[in-house]
Amino acid sequence: MVWREENKKYFNDDCRLLKGALTDPTSTYSYRMNYPLARAAAVMLWQAGCDIKRLFSAGAGAMALVPISAIADAAGRARNYLPAFPPSGTAQNTVDAYRAIGVMALLDIDFRKGESERRVGDYYVALLSHLQNRTAFVALDALRRPVGYATWCKAAGDNTVTLTRQAAPFGDHLLLQTALERHLGRDTDVQAHHPRSSRQDQMAW
């Protein structure tokens, strides 16, 4: 009962304070803005089976034990509504290709950020080209649900790969990157191109 009563404050009034501060840079700071984030971190640590004694005795090194990226992903994660991906069959390569295009389109609709605003014909041709050139990858979770996809281009004559699109609308960015690393190989020189960023070309790993 105490936990639920406290949550009413942390995720109502305190959360409104935090949201207000994020949208209005002139707002006054209140320490209570920290509580929704701290509560979310506490839940994540508990679910992960964190060694609480070690955490509290770590002093200045405590933040190294907190899974920041996992907390951020969980906080921003929408529910993955997509059905499980059926196993591929060697006799239905064409069906699998069209299925992959459909999956990438569904992921883009949720992810937005550029691709879903393109003309349908241009969008389809671009994705089909990536599939034909084997420069597209769809990541699945443990239940075989699509969680994200990536496309890339290869430089002629060397081992350089430039990622041109990484979409993970449900917050599974780390899962997508880990699966992509396995697919492309750690020995590949991988860069990422972000057309909407001030630093458009960045090292991926």
The full DSSP string for 174-190 is HHHHHHHHHHH-TTSEE
pLDDT digits 0-9 by tens, 170-182 = 888 888 988 998 9
pLDDT digits 0-9 by tens, 1-45 = 888 888 888 988 998 899 888 888 888 899 999 998 888 888 878
| CATH number of 145's domain | 3.40.630.30
pLDDT above 90 (res 136): yes
How far apart are alpha carbons 152 and 181 in whole angstroms?
A: 13
| Pairing between β-strand 160-167 and β-strand 136-140 as defined by DSSP bridges | unpaired
**168 Rama sector, left if φ>0, alpha if ψ -120 to 50, beta otherwise:** beta
Q: Give me the amino acid identity at 169.
A: P
Q: Is 47 found in the same domain as 22?
A: yes
Q: Is 112 found in the same domain as 196?
A: yes
Here the tokens at position 19 are 């949201």
For residue 82, is it within any domain?
Answer: no
For residue 174, is it within any domain?
Answer: yes
For residue 111, is it within any domain?
Answer: yes
Q: Is 33 found in the same domain as 62?
A: yes
For residue 122, is it within any domain?
Answer: yes
Structural domains in the chain (count): 2
Domain boundary, last residue among 76, 109, 134: 76
The model carries a pTM of 0.57
Q: Is 72 found in the same domain as 96?
A: no
Domain boundary, last residue among 53, 76, 99: 76
**Which residue segment(s) compose the domain that 154 sits in?**
90-203
Task: Give Cβ neighbours of residue 100 (< 8 Å, ≥ 6 apart).
Answer: 131, 136, 138
By the 10 Å C-beta count (0-12 exposed, 13-18 middle, 19+ buried), 84 is classed as exposed
For residue 164, is it within any domain?
Answer: yes
Calculate the CA dihedral of residues 75, 79, 92, 151 and round it to 10 degrees: -30
**Gyration radius of the chain's alpha carbons:** 21
How far apart are alpha carbons 140 and 149 in whole angstroms?
A: 9
Domain boundary, last residue among 76, 105, 132: 76
pLDDT value at position 35?
A: 92
